[in-house]
Amino acid sequence: MHEAELRQSRGALEQKDQVLKVKEAELQRKEAELQREKTAVTTLTATLAEKDAALGEKEAAVQNAEAALKEKEASLSTLQEAAWVWLDEA
């Protein structure tokens, strides 16, 4: 009777061991999936940072172009006023 109980306990332990192995394999699969997702997030974050920097550079270029345009408009306005004064004097 004692041997039968030992065999039954051994069988139950082996069964539990198999269940644990299955669960461990599932956890490893999930860990690998999470690692892939983490890598994807890291890549996307880097890409967004690069695009943000490029956008900042473009915004600065637009601001510089707007400032240059205002300077040219002011210069043109000065030239127009000088032309009107010259025409009035002529």
Range of the domain at 77: 1-90
pLDDT, tens only, 16-63: 999 999 999 999 999 999 999 999 999 999 999 999 999 999 999 999
Which pTM does this prediction carry?
A: 0.59
> What b/e sequence results for 24-49 when a residue is b if at least 16 CB atoms lie within 10 Å of its CB, and e otherwise?
eeeeeeeeeeeeeeeeeeeeeeeeee
Total tally of structural domains belonging to the chain: 1
Q: Which two tokens stand for residue 43?
A: 């890549």
